[in-house]
Amino acid sequence: MKYYKLLIISLIAATMLSGKKDVRPVYKDESAPLDSRVEDLLSRMTLEEKVGQMSQFVGIEHIKASEASMKASDLKNNTAMAFYPGFPIDSVISWTENGNIGSFLHVITLKEANYLQSLAMKSRLQIPIIFGIDAIHGNANAPDNTVYPTNIGIACSFDTTLAYKIARETALEMRAMNMHWTFNPNVEVARDPRWGRVGETFGEDPYLVSLMGAECVRGYQGNFGQDGVLACIKHFVGGSEPINGCNGAPADLSERTLREVFFPPFEKGVDAGAMSLMTAHNELNGIPCHTNEWLLKDILRGEWKFKGLVVSDWMDMEHVHDLHATAESLKEAYYQAIMAGEDMHMHGIHWNEDVCELVREGRIPESRIDESVRKILAVKFRLGLFEHPYADPAKTMDVRLCPEHRATALEAARESIVLLKNDGLLPLSPSKYKKVLVTGINADDPNILGDWSAAQKPENVTTILEGLRQVSPKTDFVFVDQSWDPRNMSPAKVEEAAEKARGCDLNIVVAGEYMFRARWEERTGGEDSDRSDIDLVGLQNELIRKVAASGKPTVLVLVTGRPLGVVWPAEHLPAIVCSWEPGMYGGQAVAEILYGKVTPSAKLAVTIPRSVGQIQMVYNHKPSQYFHPYVMKPSTPLWPFGFGLSYTKYDYSDMSVANDTIARGQSLKVSVKVTNSGKMAGDEIVQLYIRDCYSMVTRPVKELKDFARIHLGAGESKTVEFSVTPDKLEYLDKNLKPIEEPGEFIVMIGSSSDDSDLLKKSFFVQ
């Protein structure tokens, strides 16, 4: 603080000595040091302007749409739409012109973003707005942008360079729309498939989630300036393992589980330079995350030295009062959140007046407000918003949906599709299967875009039916439309598909979940669409069985954001493909996989259980978890983590460990020979797991510690080498301190986490 006081004094002195009334403020001088600009601007701000910078509102067009479709009573439980009862849009305009709003979200057009920015430029200090948007897989929540596969699909590619590339391209498209802050990456570790947001995550493994999340952070932020956007690691923490599978439900997690499973991706995101973090809806061990000082002060800022800003999630400060009931009033909730470490409020109308009152009453020191505002202003300076508050409408489409980004979206879809079962049916032969039935809720629907997607122009979306016709133009595809709503499927349409299947050579059923946000109330997956089971909804199972009863080969294609317990299809159908939420070119990519134009390469980033009764079902469980197996049903998953088939065959051999014994602190070289013994070129994802055989604290049966994505031509072999560094052997001891314990370790290398797919060697640490 002494440094900042001296800095302010020197700035004031310099201004007085100049003797000029029209001297340019330091904060408007692009060549001035960042800290100088921040402190100069902060010194000129009123309390109301400071608190306004900590305030985020929804956009004007969003307010209009919400007012037209909602009642005030709908607002409490709605997490997608909002307006401000009793406060007309003119109030929001006035607050913006007066510098009392620092950020907007749910602004989805360049026109509105530039307009709102023009209002901020009328304010006394002309502090620009920072626009946030849920750009989860591309800036897909706004129209006319490239829509990539969702995060779970990217995780199944095990391609960290792809994660970086998508984030980098997303940042460019966002800036072309005058948007600066993406509420991504979601680095929660997904361990409950009932939870509707699994598709928004990078799966169940902390190591894989950490790597993918860190690359997203680097890709989004770049070097900041005009082509970077602010990354936001979310949601801190535990929301992905709620006690009942429901979004925002309580999480009861030990500190060990937090530190071993849920914290690592956030810490890696901080290490990668993430400059914002969003707290989770849920309470953690009885304390709402939004008022949890241990999380925000002790862990985030204390242990990890996080320097960025913390933003609340949708109305979650309000929920401290009206849901969690740990604050007697809204004003008290704001007090608790700010003092715990929150920096920006999403969203609402009473923030400014209540927080200003709290400062004037002496409960919140103005210096605490200054801490938050410094972070917000610093981000705006780093993004170049003071010099470039607008985006150019004439140039926006030179970036958005450009050929390079479209190509990335297609390649990402190809890399994210997992072949789960193939009894020799795939790839399909057009000459053999000349007449093909195509049916199912996801066969010809924009739902293929996935959650967090706005409606896109039809010419920018390739459905699976369209992709099939494009890739195999001579095939006669007979389409039976099942509509898009699995909960209201027509029995007559199911019978029609069954009848037509008998006259076809092959059947393709495209089933799964429904995530499309334009039909929010009818969704079965995605945000706030949590389920008490993981079965196919509605008549989808009946459709599959009746079509398969035709006696013709039947392929099941799943479009979903969560693992589905498709037990009957797994036991009775010859081929199953999981496309996840493959984005704008998902239909083309699925068709290319089915017809062998592309060899499938993706591996599961989550375990797929057989039923909800198996939850929790993760690969890195403790040794005692299945000591007593289930009766009546198997204790094994339907498909394990890391699993995925190909059209070629990969043989693993000649596994080598450089030394049988190493000293603590030393690294160990491990290698394996991988041979493509099939007839097609392809990519294989080589996975390395480690088990600590005996330890003071129980350890998982195996943990992913490294992987490599390699390309092999038919008949080609490569030796893949890994370095087992000391950090890969560490764990937390009884006192939750990192330790590399002497003893025996088993290193495993193979094509999935299943024991039958792994080669194993032991080594010892002395």
State the Cα–Cα distance between residues 257 and 249, nearest whole angstrom.
18
Closest CA to 578 of 535, 544, 608: 608
Q: What integer pLDDT is reported at residue 330 of this predicted model?
A: 97
State the Cα–Cα distance between residues 419 and 639, nearest whole angstrom.
11
Residue with tokens 């134009």: 597
> Residue 567: phi, psi to the nearest 5?
-65, -50
State the Cα–Cα distance between residues 716 and 674, nearest whole angstrom.
8
Max mean pLDDT among 10-19, 72-81, 125-134 falls in 125-134
pLDDT at 182 over 50: yes
In this structure, the strands spanning 233-236 and 287-288 are unpaired
Q: What integer pLDDT is reported at residue 22 of this predicted model?
A: 57
Confidence of residue 195 (pLDDT cuts 50, 70, 90): very high
Closest CA to 92 of 69, 66, 61: 61
State the Cα–Cα distance between residues 636 and 757, nearest whole angstrom.
15
Confidence of residue 503 (pLDDT cuts 50, 70, 90): very high
Q: Where would I find the H helices in 121-230?
A: 151-157, 160-175, 206-221
pLDDT tens digits along 318-364: 999 999 999 999 999 999 999 999 999 999 899 999 999 999 999 99
Residue with tokens 């996801």: 442
pLDDT tens digits along 732-750: 999 999 999 999 999 999 9
pLDDT at 694 over 50: yes
Q: What integer pLDDT is reported at residue 18 of this predicted model?
A: 43
Burial (CB count <10 Å: 0-12, 13-18, 19+), residue 571: exposed
Average pLDDT score over residue span 488-516: 98
Confidence of residue 75 (pLDDT cuts 50, 70, 90): confident
Strand partners, 243: none
CATH number (3.40.50.261, 3.40.50.1700, 3.90.420.10, 3.40.920.10) of 417-614 reads: 3.40.50.1700
Strand partners, 279: 236
Task: Return all residues near 83 (Cβ < 8 A) that are at least 6 apart.
Answer: 58, 63, 66, 67, 70, 75
State the Cα–Cα distance between residues 320 and 239, nearest whole angstrom.
16
Q: What integer pLDDT is reported at residue 78 of this predicted model?
A: 78
Cβ atoms < 10 Å from Cβ of 244: 11
Residue with tokens 């009764």: 613
State the Cα–Cα distance between residues 331 and 446, nearest whole angstrom.
43
Task: Return all residues near 702 (Cβ < 8 A) that are at least 6 apart.
Answer: 619, 620, 689, 690, 691, 748, 753
Q: Which two tokens stand for residue 220?
A: 């989004």
State the Cα–Cα distance between residues 128 and 431, nearest whole angstrom.
61
Residues 532 and 503 sit within 8 Å (Cβ to Cβ): no
Higher pLDDT, 7 or 105: 105
Average pLDDT score over residue span 250-275: 98
Q: Where would I find the H helices in 23-127?
A: 34-44, 47-53, 60-69, 89-97, 110-120
Closest CA to 733 of 742, 724, 725: 742
State the Cα–Cα distance between residues 510 and 505, nearest whole angstrom.
17
State the Cα–Cα distance between residues 591 and 516, nearest whole angstrom.
21
pLDDT tens digits along 695-724: 999 999 999 999 999 999 999 999 999 999
SS3 650: strand
pLDDT tens digits along 206-219: 999 999 999 999 99
> Residue 278: phi, psi to the nearest 5?
-110, 135
Kindly report which listed range (18-27, 432-441, 470-479, 511-520) carries the lowest average pLDDT score. Answer: 18-27
Closest CA to 561 of 594, 592, 527, 518: 527
Average pLDDT score over residue span 265-270: 98
**% the chain with pLDDT above 90:** 93
Superfamily of domain covering 45-77+99-398: Glycoside hydrolase, family 3, N-terminal domain (3.20.20.300)
pLDDT at 9 over 50: no
CA–CA–CA angle 352, 360, 321 (5° rounding):
50
Residues 583 and 603 sit within 8 Å (Cβ to Cβ): no
Q: 517: which DSSP letter?
A: G
Q: What integer pLDDT is reported at residue 81 of this predicted model?
A: 84
Average pLDDT score over residue span 379-405: 98
State the Cα–Cα distance between residues 606 and 551, nearest whole angstrom.
32
Cβ atoms < 10 Å from Cβ of 297: 14
Contacts by residues 253-258 (CB-CB < 8 Å, ≥ 24 positions apart): 253/284, 253/285, 255/736, 256/697, 256/732, 256/736
Confidence of residue 71 (pLDDT cuts 50, 70, 90): confident
Computed over every residue of the chain, the mean pLDDT equals 95
pLDDT at 20 over 80: no
Q: 608: which DSSP letter?
A: B
Average pLDDT score over residue span 428-435: 98
pLDDT at 255 over 60: yes
pLDDT at 15 over 90: no
CA–CA–CA angle 188, 190, 194 (5° rounding):
130
State the Cα–Cα distance between residues 7 and 22, nearest whole angstrom.
21
State the Cα–Cα distance between residues 347 and 224, nearest whole angstrom.
25
pLDDT at 253 over 70: yes
In this structure, the strands spanning 554-559 and 506-512 are parallel
State the Cα–Cα distance between residues 86 and 80, nearest whole angstrom.
20
Superfamily of domain covering 650-765: Immunoglobulins (2.60.40.10)
State the Cα–Cα distance between residues 597 and 593, nearest whole angstrom.
6
Amino acid at 404: E
User: Domain-by-domain residue ranges, the chain?
Assistant: 45-77+99-398, 417-614, 650-765
State the Cα–Cα distance between residues 285 and 242, nearest whole angstrom.
11
pLDDT at 645 over 60: yes
pLDDT at 257 over 90: yes
Closest CA to 584 of 405, 397, 398, 396: 405
Q: What integer pLDDT is reported at residue 69 of this predicted model?
A: 84
pLDDT at 133 over 70: yes
Average pLDDT score over residue span 556-569: 98
Amino acid at 609: P
Task: Return all residues near 467 (Cβ < 8 A) that are at least 6 apart.
Answer: 585, 586, 587, 588, 589, 590, 591, 592
Residues 710 and 683 sit within 8 Å (Cβ to Cβ): yes
CA–CA–CA angle 363, 364, 370 (5° rounding):
165
CA–CA–CA angle 318, 321, 325 (5° rounding):
145
Closest CA to 102 of 71, 125, 80, 84: 125
